[in-house]
Structure 1
C-alpha cells in the first residue's frame, strides 16, 4: 500500500467542504478512580488540551466527526462555538461520538443508531451508538453517520469465533441495514469514524456493506503516516451521489509535529483523516 502524504488542501472552490474523522482517545474530565474509566488512564493536562485545540485549528475542517469524547463542553475546547456547532450521541458511555459542524451549515438530527450497541440491556458495559444527522448548505444535503465500532477484530475473518469478532459481525448487520436504507432512498450519504477494522475493497466486511450498491472507500490502497505509519482503521466512505463529490487525491492525514509515541497521551493515538467534497 502507498503511504499517504500529509499535505493540506489547496485551491478549494467556494462550495468545497472538508470532512474529517478524528478519534480523540478518551477525552474526559472525569476524575481518576471513576468506575467508568480504565485504572491506568492518562488524563489530559490543560497544556494537552491546548495542543489538541491548535491541531483542530490547523485541521480547519468544515465537518469533523469525532470519537471518544465525554461531553460537548470538552468538544468545545477544541471546536469553539464561534465557529462550530456540536452535536453528540445521547448514550451514556464515556467514549461518545459527535460532530462539529461549521456554523454556516444546517443540521437535521435523526435518532441515534442505538442498535449498534448489540450488548444486552443488563451488560456491565455498553458499546457506542451511531450519530445520524443530515448536513445542508442551502443547495445540497448530505446524510452522515458517525460510528465507533468494536475493537479486537482488525483483520480476522468475520466468522472468527472470538467474542470481539462475533460482536463486530453483529454490528456489521446493523450498519449494513442503515446503508441499505440510504441506498433505497437515493440520498447522498457518508459513513465515517473509527471502524477498528483494516478495511479494504476486498475485505468481507466492506463487501457486505456494498451489497445494495457501490461505496467509495476513500482510504483504499493507502497507509496512514500517523505515529510512524500504520494501516487505516479510521475511514470515510461515500454512497450514492456523494461518491461523485469526492475531490480526486484529496485524502489527507494531519500528523502531529512530535512523532514520538511518548507524546501520544497528551495528543491522541489517532490522527485526523480528511477528504474534500465538491457540493453540487
Structure 2
C-alpha cells in the first residue's frame, strides 16, 4: 500500500484515470464527509466527549474549500442542520436538501440552483437498528436531479463504521449491521436497475469497496455498476484507501468523463488540523449528461 499512497499523496486536486467516455453537458458531483459539523456546544449529550463545534474561522476555511471544489452537486455527511450547510454552500449558488433524521450526523445535498430537485422519501430502512436503540442510524437522502434535458437519481448514504475491510461473514456487531444495510442498499439499486433510470449512489460507505469485495458484488448482481474509486488510493491526510465512494448505474455509467476522479486535499499538512476541517476530503467526478 505504501507505494500506492506515496504515488497519490500530493496536495491540491489529484487526478485519477477512469474510463467510459461520453459527450454532453458536464456536471461535477462530489461526496464530502464534514466530520461532526455542528453548532451544538461541547458537552451536549448528543455529542461524543471529544467533539467540539467549529470556530467561525474554521467554517470560513471550510467555505473556501467548498468554493474551490466548485461542484454542481455535493453529497455531504455528518452535518447537523441546513443552516450550517449553507455556511459552506451559499444560497446564491446552492439549494440545500437534508434528511429528516433526528440525529446530529445527517446526510444531505447541496445542489446548484440551475438544476431541478425532485425529493423522494428518505431511505429510512438504512436504520436497521430496533426502535429502542439509543442511537439510530442515518437514513439515505434520495432525490432526482435534472438539468432540463436529462435526470439523475441520486442517493446519498453514510453507512455503519467498524467493518472497513473484514469479510461479510465476520460476526462482529458492526459487520452484521453493515451487511444488513448493504441488503437495503441492494434493494434500492435493484429497483433502479428494474426502472432503467440513470442513478448515482455516493457517500461515506465506511468500507474499502473494491470490484472484488463481496459487498460490491451484492450491489451489482442485478446489473453492472461503475465504482469510480476502483483501484485507487486517496491522498487525503497523507494517504489512505477510499471509504468515500461514487457508484454509477444504468446510463449514468456512460456519462462518466474519463480521467475525472479528483480528491481535493487541504493545504494544511498536519493531521492534527483535521478536527478543525474534516478527516475526509471531497471526492468528485465529472458526468456528461446528454
TM over 0.5: yes
Say if 2:102 is the partner of 1:86: no
The higher relative CO (CA closer than 8 Å, separation ≥ 6) is in 2
Q: Which residue of 2 aligns with 1:161?
A: 171
For normalisation by structure 1, the TM-score amounts to 0.97
Q: Distance in 1 between matches of 2:215 and 2:14?
A: 30
| Aligned partner of 1:221 among 207, 231, 236 | 231
Q: Which residue of 1 aligns with 2:108?
A: 98
Q: Structure 2 regions of 5+ residues with no counterpart?
A: 17-22
Q: Distance in 1 between matches of 2:50 and 2:259?
A: 40
Q: Matched residue pairs, number?
A: 277
Listed one character per residue, the Cα deviations across residues 135-189 of structure 1 (whole Å, up to 9, x for unaligned) are: 0000000000000000000000111000000000000100000000000000000
Indicate the SS of the match to 1:190.
Answer: strand
Q: Which residue of 2 aligns with 1:31?
A: 41
| Aligned partner of 1:119 among 129, 137, 152 | 129
Q: Which residue of 1 aligns with 2:20?
A: none
Q: Distance in 2 between matches of 1:230 and 1:124?
A: 31
Runs of 4+ in structure 1 deviating by more than 4 angstroms, as ranges, are 1-5
Q: Distance in 2 between matches of 1:231 and 1:252?
A: 14
Q: Structure 1 regions of 5+ residues with no counterpart?
A: none
Say if 2:184 is the partner of 1:184: no
For normalisation by structure 2, the TM-score amounts to 0.93
Indicate the SS of the match to 2:286.
Answer: strand
Q: Which residue of 2 aligns with 1:19?
A: 29
CA contact (8 A) 2:41 2:52 kept: no
| Aligned partner of 1:205 among 193, 215, 224 | 215
How far off its partner does 1:237 sit? Answer: 0.6
Q: Which residue of 1 aligns with 2:79?
A: 69
Indicate the SS of the match to 2:156.
Answer: strand
How far off its partner does 1:226 sit? Answer: 0.2
Provide the alpha-carbon RMSD of the alignment. Answer: 1.4
Indicate the SS of the match to 1:33.
Answer: coil
